[in-house]
Every structure is written in C-alpha cells, then in structure tokens.
Structure 1
C-alpha cells in the first residue's frame, strides 16, 4: 500500500495505517495518477492505493512499486514482509542496493528499512547485504557474522543484533567506525 506521509513513519505506524485503511473499504471514482503507473492489481482507498500481486512475481513487482512510490515521495508498506519504505533518510551512496536472502532488492533504501530488515535474518532469509557495486559491500548472516569487502573480503563475529544495526548504519552513512570496533580476519 502506498500513501503520503509528511515525515518518515515506523513499521508499527505503517502496519496500523494499513489495517485501518483496509477496514474502510475501497472507493470508486477517479484514480490518482500514481495508480496508472503501478504494476499489479490496484485498489483505491481514500488517500491510499493498494497493490495486489501474486507470490510468484512479488519480488520483481515490489521493487517496481518501491521505485515508483519513492519517485512520487510516497510511503510504501509491504504487509507480506511487514516492512515500511520511507522516502528518507537515505544513505550517502547513490545507487546503493539492499539485498536479502529471501529475494528482496531495494535501490537506495531508507535507513529505517535497513534497520528493520536486519531483524528478519532467519533460515528463510539467510543474509542481508548493502552493496555499492564496483566499490564495496557489507553483509550479515544469521549468527551475526559480518562480511565486508573493499578489495579484500574480511569477516567478524558480532555478538548482538543492535551492534549489527549500528555497523550497517555506519556503513550506509559513510562512517567506518565498525572497521576498528570489531576484530576482522581474512575470509
């Protein structure tokens, strides 16, 4: 579901909005301009657009929806993954990509999304990576093993999720304190 929000919202706020809007029922009438651009089956609710897609094409279509929503300055909530995509704040690397082991790819992810995605590590989602193609990447797998590559691939074990989140935030914002805070070994 996509809609306008004046400031970034949390995953809990997005979920609550989604559930409240779904209880109101769809409306008939003029489609907003964005509805014509969105892939999948579109249903209009007051101030909101719901995009329905099948599981086979969900990853591909979701990436398109996220891109279109961002271009229009809209929040996008993914109820299947329980994740919210805000317009900002973004990392410092234009074109940075967020990849997950369960198939999600997001171009220029907002920092809140990166934070929330890291909590989804599981056997069904065996890695999360921030990638700046041709330059460097930071990746984590369940058990909190970080891998960083900028020339040479190195690994470090991190004791808890909050430290993983801190490292990913530093990486996305161009800071490199995570490199000195952890003990790295060649991969």
Structure 2
C-alpha cells in the first residue's frame, strides 16, 4: 500500500478544505513530463509532477520518516504540503514563537516548526488511532493531550488537568505555541 503527499505554492495559508479540493482537482489532470521543478529533485519517494504541483508517493512502512522529510523540504521552499491520508495541510505560516518546536502525534507524525493551523487541526484527530498530540520544546518544556482531553504540561515538574472540550484544548495549544501562558491560570492543575 502506498501513501501520498502533494506540495505546491500558495501565496497565503489555506484551509484543509481548500487543500483537499486542490489535491483532488490536480489528481484529475495528467502528469507532466520533462524537466521537474527543483523541489522535485530533493523530495524522497516516487515523485510525479503536475502543472505547479508535485506528488510524492511512498510506501506505508516508510511514511513517517519520509513525510517528515517532505514537510521539511516543502517548508524550506515556502510550499504548502497536503497530507490526504490525514486530511491535514501544512502551511508555511503562521508559526509559533519557539524556533525548533516539534509537533508529535500518536500516529507517528513529526513536524518541525509546525504552523498554528496545523496544530489546531491535528488536535481534532485525537482518537484510538492517534492517542496523543504534543508540542515539544526539547530541554525546556512541552504540552501534550490525550483523548478525554487530559492536558499535561511540563516545565520542570509535570502537571495535569482535564478540560471538557476540544476548543479549550485548541486554545491551550495555541497559547502555548505563541508564548502565552494563560492556559496555566485558567485551569486547576495537579
């Protein structure tokens, strides 16, 4: 079984719906032959070019490692990356305030310097198949959540709290990523 990612240029951040529609429209076209764009030469996996778009196909066994490489290369080139398996779009911006921050998911995705929209959308994928989401600033602090919305924050000491709704989890992650610590005073931590 194989999985795909598609990369292309967008002047502004786009939504998952826009990315999905673009991906589906491009897949209806025929691939182009000839000289591939520079980014296509750097991407791992099997690369297929379409007008203005590059499709990367990889096998399921190497998906996590290769996807991380594709996300990094796309970002370096200022390109959007759409993951149709997870229905997630990786925009170039806006980013959090911590350079080198990593997004980790329980289903194996690792993204360096994730955009805030991706962080928001990934949190909605919490499930038995994706049992946690974490934003990690190695050697400093992290925030993570598991299904049932148990938040864990560590900066020295690990503390936990339960929150009732996904929207509150998304707000806490957004605040954390942007350097705002309001989520710490809004909840009772143990």
Query: Which TM-score band (shorter chain)?
Result: over 0.9
2: CA distance between counterparts of 1:143 and 1:111? 22
TM-score (norm 2): 0.97
Structure 1 position 165 matched with structure 2 position 142: no
1:80 Cα shift? 1.1
Which residue among 56, 62, 65 is the counterpart of 2:61? 56
1:91-116: CA deviations, max 9, x gaps? 00000000000110000000000000
TM-score (norm 1): 0.98
Structure 2 alignment gaps of length 5 or more? 1-5
1:17 match:
22
1:133-175: CA deviations, max 9, x gaps? 0000000000000000000000000000000000000000000
Which residue among 43, 50, 63 is the counterpart of 2:48? 43
2:101 match:
96
Structure 1 alignment gaps of length 5 or more? none
Aligned length: 185
1:176 match:
181
Query: Helix, strand or coil: the match of 1:87?
Result: coil
Structure 1 position 137 matched with structure 2 position 160: no
Structure 1 position 72 matched with structure 2 position 77: yes
1:30 Cα shift? 1.2
1:149 match:
154
1:5-38: CA deviations, max 9, x gaps? 0000001100000000000121111100111000
